[in-house]
Structure 1
Amino acid sequence: MTRTVYVNGDYLPEAEATVSIFDRGFLMADGVYEVTSVLGGKLIDFEGHAVRLQRSLDELDMVNPISKEDLLQVHRELVRVNEIDEGMVYLQITRGAPGDRDFVFPDPETTQPTIVLFTQNKPGLANSPAAKTGMKVISIDDIRWGRRDIKTVQLLYPSMGKMMAKKAGADDAWMIEDGFVTEGTSNNAYIVKGNKIITRALSNDILHGITRAAVLRFAQEAQMEVEERNFTIEEAKEADEAFITSASTFVMPVVEIDGVSLGEGAPGRVALRLREIYLEESLKTAV
């Protein structure tokens, strides 16, 4: 079945969807994006994604072309027409195509942004086999720009990091800067030591994960100890367990780092419990 996608106010078959070759998202990665998970045909953490989207646009001095209410309606309509039970809705807003290629962008108030949304069908998202076996990560240098808190479409290096991991026989990579882990290529990183959950504090250095915020809140409500601080890859290798969080993986256990097995080499108790709590609680507020 051909997907229906959304482009600048229109619902179209994906084969008929087009964007200008002069769009700054294409020419300069001048855009932001969000990915919202769908479980049981409902959107997970939509409010958080909408708030972060607005923050990213504000940080780049871009105008939001759609209200939060209308954005929710577009998400729901795409989920409906594409019959998504488990999957994701991808949203991208770029500065648009104001004219010929130029490093200097025009007045935001006179430029019409480009907005694109599409769905991805992912049956079994909630019951991913990987959650039962855990994932392996390698460490790589973090050479990205300094504003990782803005969710831009500049994803070349994260993509390269995933390919480095694949070549090494791993599933993903954790990035290292000044000796400390920043985050995964498309996720936030955590270790567990003595029942304490440790993850890097929010700053411009990492993405302010929507799933991260929910998981840490649920952890504290479950009387788990959380410490937000930097940690080294050496400390991670000596941890009892580790995990990542993201909108597409929820809570995913990590069982190996740079070839070193963590704990018993199997998903840890804390990660598995947090995944269970996250899925249960998020479904209660899904829209």
Structure 2
Amino acid sequence: MPIVGYYNGQFVTPNSGIVPLDERGHQFGDGVYEVIRCYGGRAFLLDWHLDRLWMSLQAIRIAPPFTKDECATLIERLIVESGELEASIYLQITRGSAIRNHLFPNPAVKANVSATVRPVASQIAKEPGTLLMMADERWANAWIKTINLLPNILAKQTAHDMGADEALLVRDGAMIESASSNLWFVRDNQLITAPADRYILNGITRRFVIQLADRLGIPVRETKLPAKDLATVDGIFITGTLTEVFPIHRVLTHPDVPYVSLPDVTGLQQLSADKCQVAWEARDLSLVGRLQSAFADAIATFAKSDR
């Protein structure tokens, strides 16, 4: 099926030149977004996604351009238009189009709504991955799902350049999150994940895994694990809407990528992957495997359930 795009009421191709030059998302990153996973032709955990979207809109003072029911109807129509059973829906809302000014535009300016639907494959069968430890350079309101993602992009690209799948972000000495996913540790047969404070995004899959763990009788501690305690960890995994439940095999450090302080302002342009050092390797991923299986079962049940 062709990839479906949407902009302010029109279904378009994603490469259509339809965004005005004075669009505030384009000029300021002045907007929020959600990524929703579709399984079996249905949006998974849609109510949670909509609640978070409304929370983000409120946080940056954008008036919702529709009700939650209207938004849900739009998402359902996007899925139908795409014809995809396994897909990701990217939905973005910005403050609208107005002459460039740091102040908010006139309240009469309407928010812009755009979306794309793309086919995706399950991540469940992927081999365990690798993280690169680095300092968290994101702003102090990571709990808002804003389209301002440059620090996340730079972190993930640096990790990729060093042969890792994701970044392991350290703030104030604690390992709190990844660039585009939530971070989990397994120690003494319990799960440890950073609390949903202002410094992390409270992931939808994170919330779902907490529920899964409760059903499986696995204790969960929401606390920040110090980076100095990495050696005490038995297993690590990350979660996200498209990441699902992804086990981690090892953690790397790099002498030119600080994680105990912010990097030098000159940047990290000339890094060599040969300098990476293995700081941690998984000892026991069996509990992560249980969570993966439970997640896969839950998805299968959801995809087969009545609409």
* TM-score, scaled relative to structure 1: 0.92
Contact preservation (8 Å) 1:191, 1:236: no
Name the % identity: 28
1:125 aligns with 2:122: yes
Contact preservation (8 Å) 1:193, 1:239: yes
Task: Give the aligned partner of residue 249 of structure 2.
Answer: 255
Root-mean-square deviation (Å): 1.7
Q: Using the alignment, how far apart are the partners of 2:153 and 2:180 within structure 1?
A: 9
Task: Give the aligned partner of residue 269 of structure 1.
Answer: 286
Query: Equivalent of 2:230, from 233, 236, 240?
Result: 236
Report SS of the residue matched to 1:16: coil
Q: Using the alignment, how far apart are the partners of 1:96 and 1:156 within structure 2?
A: 21
Task: Give the aligned partner of residue 95 of structure 1.
Answer: 95
Contact preservation (8 Å) 1:23, 1:96: yes
Q: Using the alignment, how far apart are the partners of 1:94 and 1:220 within structure 2?
A: 37
Deviation at 1:83?
2.0
Report SS of the residue matched to 1:111: coil
Deviation at 1:208?
1.0
Deviation at 1:261?
4.1
Report SS of the residue matched to 2:132: strand
* Greater Cα offset, 80-89 or 50-59: 80-89
Deviation at 1:178?
0.8
Task: Give the aligned partner of residue 60 of structure 1.
Answer: 60
* Greater Cα offset, 37-46 or 145-154: 37-46
1:152 aligns with 2:146: yes
Task: Give the aligned partner of residue 203 of structure 2.
Answer: 209
Q: Using the alignment, how far apart are the partners of 1:17 and 1:227 within structure 2?
A: 47
Q: Using the alignment, how far apart are the partners of 2:15 and 2:280 within structure 1?
A: 45
Q: Using the alignment, how far apart are the partners of 1:262 and 1:14 within structure 2?
A: 41
1:110 aligns with 2:84: no
Deviation at 1:39?
1.6
Deviation at 1:285?
4.6
Counterpart residue type for residue 177 of structure 1? R
Q: Using the alignment, how far apart are the partners of 1:166 and 1:249 within structure 2?
A: 15
Counterpart residue type for residue 114 of structure 2? V
For 1:68-83, what aligned pairs fall within 5 Å after superposition? Answer: 68-83=68-83
Say how many residue pairs are matched: 279
Deviation at 1:283?
4.7
Counterpart residue type for residue 139 of structure 1? M
Q: Using the alignment, how far apart are the partners of 1:143 and 1:119 within structure 2?
A: 30
Task: Give the aligned partner of residue 219 of structure 1.
Answer: 213
Deviation at 1:263?
3.1
Q: Using the alignment, how far apart are the partners of 1:29 and 1:54 within structure 2?
A: 17
Q: Using the alignment, how far apart are the partners of 2:17 and 2:46 within structure 1?
A: 25
Task: Give the aligned partner of residue 34 of structure 1.
Answer: 34
Q: 1:263 to 1:182 in 2, by over 3 A?
A: closer
Deviation at 1:214?
0.9
Report SS of the residue matched to 2:184: strand
* Greater Cα offset, 1-10 or 192-201: 1-10
Q: Using the alignment, how far apart are the partners of 2:204 and 2:148 within structure 1?
A: 19
Q: Using the alignment, how far apart are the partners of 1:137 and 1:15 within structure 2?
A: 33
Q: Cα deviation per residue 1:66-91 (whole Å; 9 max; x = unaligned)? A: 22222222222222222212220000
Contact preservation (8 Å) 1:126, 1:279: no
* TM-score, scaled relative to structure 2: 0.86
